[in-house]
Amino acid sequence: MMTDRFVHPSRHPIRLFGLAKTDLHALDATAISLSDVEHQAVAGWRTLRSFRARRRNSGRPKTPPGAGNALIKVAKAPGIPVHVVATPEELELHDTNQRWRTNAREQRGDNR
């Protein structure tokens, strides 16, 4: 079967980020088996829809809960939870809102 060759946890590490519980249960039907603790961790990293519009006092969006969290899983060994933090340079490089802020400043006549 093609999916067995695509995702084979004994050969390649699997990286899981925030997923819904239904998606995690669907993984149980594949070659990947997660413990209850792993299920709870990965499901807890998922961003809820109600959080997506929240902003800081500065107007910048808040970092969603679970952002940067991942579980590295190899075969049936316990998963390794990791947290990745982007550097200020990476955040600036991947700032997809920069153009919008620049256009808004130009429209206001702001030179900041």
- Structural domain for 11, as ranges: 2-85
- Residue 31 domain flag: yes
- Residue 32 domain flag: yes
pTM reported for the whole predicted model: 0.62
- Residue 91 domain flag: no
- Residue 103 domain flag: no
Least Cα distance to 71 among 19, 30, 23 occurs for 19
Amino acid letter for position 110: D
Exposed e or buried b for every residue in 61-79, given b needs 16+ CB within 10 A?
A: eeeeebeebbbebeeeeeb
At 98-107, the pLDDT tens digits run 777 777 667 7
- Residue 105 domain flag: no
Structure tokens at 65: 């809960």
**Band of residue 52 on the pLDDT scale cut at 50, 70, 90:** low
Whether 9 has a pLDDT exceeding 60, the answer reads no
Query: Number of folded domains in the chain?
Result: 1
Average pLDDT over residues 73-95: 85
Residue pair 46/67 in contact (Cβ under 8 Å)? The answer is: no
Stated as kind and residue range, the H or E segment containing 107 is: helix 98-108
